[in-house]
Amino acid sequence: MGTRNPERLRSLDICSGAGGLALGLEQAGFDPVLLLDNRDVACRTLRANRPSWNVHETNLLDFDPAEHKQTYDVDLLSAGLPRVKATATVARRDSKAELELLKAAIYLLHGVQPRAVLIENVPDLVTNPAYRPIRAYLEEELSHLGYGHRWFVLNAADHGVPQTRRQGILVAFKGDALDRFVEPTPTTPHPRTVGETLLESMSARGWTDAEKWAAQADKPAPTLVGGSWERGGADLGPTGSKQAWARMGVDGGTVADRVPDKDFRWDPALGRPGMMPLTVAQAALLQGFPSTWRIEGRKTAMYRQVGHASPPPVGRALGTAIAAALRG
């Protein structure tokens, strides 16, 4: 291996998924010493795009940093964790697992002792009173370990992502770096729309109505929802999301294998047969991934990875702000 660039910072990325957060942090100057995910397909995606990354297929609950001492004293521990549910709603088995992963991420601080922490999750984790017991637990643990912390909410649409996606953020720092941390401010005065983002791909097979469709798809996308890994197929989210997509002439009830060809008749008045679904590649563009980012697996697994990902532009904005605070 070559000599590490001293101007870049080191990170440990857990629950990495398709790599959206890690990619954004890389763009902000962080190089991961290790990335961790428990799904083979996600690990294949990470390796396909960054063969040099040190990717471990391991459950966070089983991860022992003592066996990976390169993770000690990293500059940042980053985590795009599965969407945790409020304590009052933790009844399903997967909901309890999500809460355990959140606690495990904080427990990992005991061994790793990073200079800073970044956890991305649902906005309700920050704002909803039902989540107060979870917040109190995290705050107590962080304080015990000597970290100052801050909660806030970002909308990905404010940072160049063509999607209305509110994200709950927890940042924490050792020492006085929190005093220097400035929350990312919106960089996009006019959010990118679905139409301008997807016009080129919609035109790729000669669809003659592509420009007409794009002109009326003049809003950011509704929040992409990855859905459960345990059940169901690939679609663009719950009923409300499907209705929002239908208003843009998109069939949100499935995911397509390819974009429309020149003979496709677009007529939303016909219902789903007159609307086209999006492809996984188009969903990835709406999530802020570059077109060169490869998603591995079969279609449903590919869409799950995209829908659950943290948008890279948001990771970049957060990473830039964290790096500035660490460097003083």
The rounded mean pLDDT for the chain is 93
**Structural Rg of the chain based on CA atoms:** 20
Considering only CA atoms, which of 109, 99, 107, 50 is closest in space to residue 77?
Answer: 109
Q: What is residue 249's three-state secondary structure?
A: coil
| The predicted structure's pLDDT at residue 4 | 63
CATH superfamily of 9-188+310-327: Vaccinia Virus protein VP39 (3.40.50.150)
- pLDDT digit string, tens, across residues 253-307: 999 999 999 999 999 999 999 999 999 999 999 999 999 999 999 999 999 999 9
Q: What is the pLDDT of residue 87?
A: 54
pLDDT in tens, 105-154: 999 999 999 999 999 999 999 999 999 999 999 999 999 999 999 999 99
What lies within 8 Å, CB to CB, of 72 at 6+ separation is 65, 111, 112, 113
pLDDT tens string 145-168? 999 999 999 999 999 999 999 999
Q: Read off the pTM.
A: 0.94
Could you tell me the residue ranges of all domains in the chain? 9-188+310-327, 194-306
Structure tokens at 117: 């922490």
Phi then psi for 37, rounded to 5 degrees?
Answer: -155, 150
DSSP at 231 = S
CA distances from residue 72 to 1, 5, 38, 57 in whole angstroms, order as listed: 19, 18, 21, 19
pLDDT over 60 (residue 17): yes
| Position 90 confidence tier, pLDDT thresholds 50, 70, 90 | very low
**pLDDT value for 180:** 97
- pLDDT of 94 > 60? The answer is no
| Phi–psi pair at 86, nearest 5 degrees | -60, 150
Which residue, among 48, 41, 49, 51, has the nearest Cα to 17 in the 3D structure?
A: 41
Torsion of CA 103, 107, 109, 111, to 10 degrees: -150
Instruction: Give me the mean pLDDT over the 70-95 stretch.
Output: 76
Residues facing residue 153 across a β-bridge: 168
Could you tell me the end-to-end alpha-carbon distance of the chain, in angstroms, rounded to an integer? 29
Tokens at residue 89, please?
């709603």
pLDDT value of position 259: 98
Structural contact between residues 112 and 65, judged by C-beta atoms closer than 8 angstroms: yes
